[in-house]
Every structure is written in C-alpha cells, then in structure tokens.
C-alpha cells in the first residue's frame, strides 16, 4: 500500500509538471523555471509522502550534503558521456560543425532537471527501495532495471536493443549509485549530468527522443553499434561498456560498506538486512 501511495504522489507531480513543460517549451526561460520547479516539488512531495507512510526520517534525501552529492554525481554523468562521445568521434561517428543554440540548451536544462529528479525518486526512491526489502538488492536491481528499460520502448526510435541498453546503463548504474551511497542525490546528479551532456551540450538524441539543438551544432553517422543509431549514444556499445564498469565499481563500494541486502532465505522469513549506516 505504501508503494502505491508513494508512487502515485510522485507520479502526479511528474505528470502535471510534464504537461506544463510541453505547454511552455517554446519559451526557454519559462521552461527552465518550470523544470526546476517540478524537480523541487518532486523532492518535497517524496519526503512528505515517505514520512506520512513510513513514519521515519527520510535519510535517503537528507538535506545535509545534498549539494555536494548531486554535484559530484552530475560531474560523473557529464564525464562518462564525454568519454562516449570522444570515442565515437575518434572513429568518425560524431562530427562537430560549430556553435549551436544557447537558448535551446537552457530549455533542455529545465527538461532534464525535471526528468532526472522525478524518475529517480520514482524508480530508485520508491520502486527499488521497497522491492529490495522483500527480494534483496540483486533481485530488485534486475527487476527494476528491466522494467525501466521496457518503459523506454515507448520512446520514439526505440526498440528492443534500446530497452536492453537502458536497462543495463540506467537501470544498473543509477541503482548501483543509490545502493553504494544510500542517498538519492548521487543518482539524481548522475542522471542529470548524463542527459545534459547528451542533449544541452552535445546535441544528440536522448533515449530515442529527438531533442532540440544544444550548445554544439553536430551530427552523428555510422554503424548503429558505434553511434546508437536513432536511439542516440545510449544505444552505443561504448555507453554499455562504460556504464557496466561504473555499475561494478559502485556495487563493489556497496559491498565494502555492507549495503547490499541479501535475498530472503525462506518464504515468510525476511533475510537479515545489511547495515545501512551512512
């Protein structure tokens, strides 16, 4: 029941905010402002509904250290995507023609801020966290990762490979970032940084969505295995490899910190949970 209440509350903010963003997408400054407003509202709604349904302090979204955690997550996301683009460009798949549109990039910051926060609080904060309590970390990671990938099959230019790539990259890496830190701020930053680097900076498709031109005027061409084709660089093997490596690093850190919850050993009896101290 708490899963339903929490998911419904956050999803309502995401839906209403998304409708508003689509309504003002021709005004970059208004899009930026509304995107940030949706992101902030999602945080407050999540904290409120968790407190009401679980009667506890919402440690996974504590204010202390939020800026620093989101900041390094964002830098990591930008850095990872930069590695992907550099490798694709090295083989001629990404070509830069000059400057793009600063105003479009500004609007994309608003879009991606709203997307990163709403998706992380729904998928990692609600679904993964609650499912993990019953199945353990690894099973919950696989289940929610696959579901996250399948949802992206609804995107334009998506297909089975796009869903698999997203399940591995976002479903795995972002969840692992949460498991390692037991905070939603790093995966929010990581999600935001990756999307901003792909859209507002590099002007590439994001998860199959044709995004407006960002800061750079660039085009992509070449084998889909290299460039990701119509799905964008997230469908590139470079993205899969780099994100898998990052996932493994995060899970290694989680193991060292004792934050991996074991699977239930016997029906009707929950397994002992790993210590979740920060």
Q: Predicted confidence band at 164 (pLDDT cuts at 50, 70, 90)?
A: very high
Could you tell me what percent of the chain has a pLDDT over 90? 68
Q: Predicted confidence band at 121 (pLDDT cuts at 50, 70, 90)?
A: very high
pLDDT, residue 251, reads 97
Could you tell me what percent of the chain has a pLDDT over 70? 92
SS3 96: strand
Between 2-23 and 102-120, two packed helices, what is the crossing angle to 10 degrees? 170
For every residue of 41-77, DSSP letters joined together read HHHHHHHHHHHHHH-S--GGG-STTHHHHHHHHHHHH
- Dist. CA 117–CA 188, nearest whole Å: 6
Indicate if the pLDDT at residue 278 is higher than 60. Answer: no
The full 3-state SS of 228-256, as one line of letters, equals: CHHHCHHHCHHHHHHHHHHHHHHHHHHHH
Indicate if the pLDDT at residue 39 is higher than 90. Answer: yes
Q: What is the pLDDT of residues 77-115, one digit of tens each?
A: 999 999 999 999 999 999 999 998 899 999 999 999 999
Query: 11 is written with which tokens?
Result: 């999803």
Torsion of CA 8, 231, 149, 62, to 10 degrees: -60
| Structural domain spans, the chain | 2-256
pLDDT averaged over every residue in the chain: 89
Give the residue-averaged pLDDT of 199-218: 87
Q: What is the pLDDT of residues 40-70, one digit of tens each?
A: 999 999 999 999 999 999 999 999 999 999 9
Question: Of 252, 255, 123, which is closest to residue 190 (Cα–Cα)?
Answer: 123
Range in 5-14, 55-64, 196-205 with the lowest mean pLDDT = 5-14
């Amino acid at each position: 029941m708490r899963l339903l209440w929490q998911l419904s509350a956050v999803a309502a903010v995401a839906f209403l905010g998304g409708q508003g963003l689509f309504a003002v997408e021709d005004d970059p400054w208004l899009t930026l402002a509304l995107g940030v407003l949706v992101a902030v509202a999602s945080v407050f709604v999540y904290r409120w509904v968790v407190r009401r349904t679980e009667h506890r302090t919402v440690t996974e979204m504590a204010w202390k250290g939020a800026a620093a955690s989101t900041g390094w997550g964002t830098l990591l996301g930008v850095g990872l995507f930069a590695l992907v683009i550099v490798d694709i460009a090295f083989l001629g798949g990404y070509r830069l023609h000059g400057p793009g549109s600063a105003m479009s990039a500004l609007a994309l910051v608003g879009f991606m801020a709203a997307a990163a926060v709403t998706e992380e609080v729904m998928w990692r904060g609600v679904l993964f966290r609650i499912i993990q309590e019953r199945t353990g970390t690894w099973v919950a990671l696989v289940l929610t990762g696959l579901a996250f990938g399948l949802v992206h099959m609804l995107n334009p230019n998506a297909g089975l490979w796009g869903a698999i790539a997203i399940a591995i990259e976002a479903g795995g890496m972002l969840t692992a970032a949460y498991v390692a830190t037991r905070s939603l701020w790093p995966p929010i930053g990581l999600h935001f940084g990756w999307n901003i680097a792909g859209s507002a900076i590099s002007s590439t498709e994001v998860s199959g969505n044709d995004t407006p031109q960002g800061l750079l005027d660039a085009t992509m061409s070449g084998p889909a295995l290299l460039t990701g084709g119509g799905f964008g660089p997230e469908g590139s093997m470079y993205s899969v490899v780099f994100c898998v490596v990052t996932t493994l690093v995060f899970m290694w850190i989680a193991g060292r910190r004792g934050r991996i919850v074991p699977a239930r050993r016997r029906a009707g009896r929950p397994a002992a949970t790993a210590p979740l101290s920060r």
